[in-house]
Amino acid sequence: MNVDREALQASWKQTRGHLASARAHLTGLPDIDLSATSEFLEHDELGLAFDCLVDLGGDLNLPLSFWHHLDRAAREMRLYSDALHTPHLTTADLCRRHLAAASEQE
């Protein structure tokens, strides 16, 4: 069971890194409040931090790398596989849509 705990901690660390990298794209932008995202990251509420970042980035013309970081975080948290069993649009679905749109622009 020690290995599972270590794997989980490694996964959290990797996910936090992806979320922090995505968050860095929003730092310093006018009218963007990152306090909730920071608080979620501090308390290891990674799914909520992901949701905030997707929501904040949704109406901005952010580079593809922002969406790649969020895509990697979603994959690490297995949000896409969870979305398959959810009848409504999830934040992971929105991330995929923004990733596709940003890919077409670059």
Q: Is the CB of residue 65 less than 8 Å from the CB of residue 25? A: yes
Q: Is the CB of residue 70 less than 8 Å from the CB of residue 53? A: yes
pLDDT of residue 86: 64
Domain locations in the chain?
A: 2-105
d(CA 93, CA 88): 9
d(CA 22, CA 16): 10
d(CA 67, CA 98): 7
Q: Is the CB of residue 47 less than 8 Å from the CB of residue 79? A: yes
pTM exceeds 0.75 for this model = yes
Predicted confidence pLDDT, tens digits, the chain (106 residues):
456 888 888 999 999 999 999 999 999 999 999 999 999 999 999 999 999 999 999 989 899 999 999 999 999 998 877 656 666 678 888 888 888 888 887 7
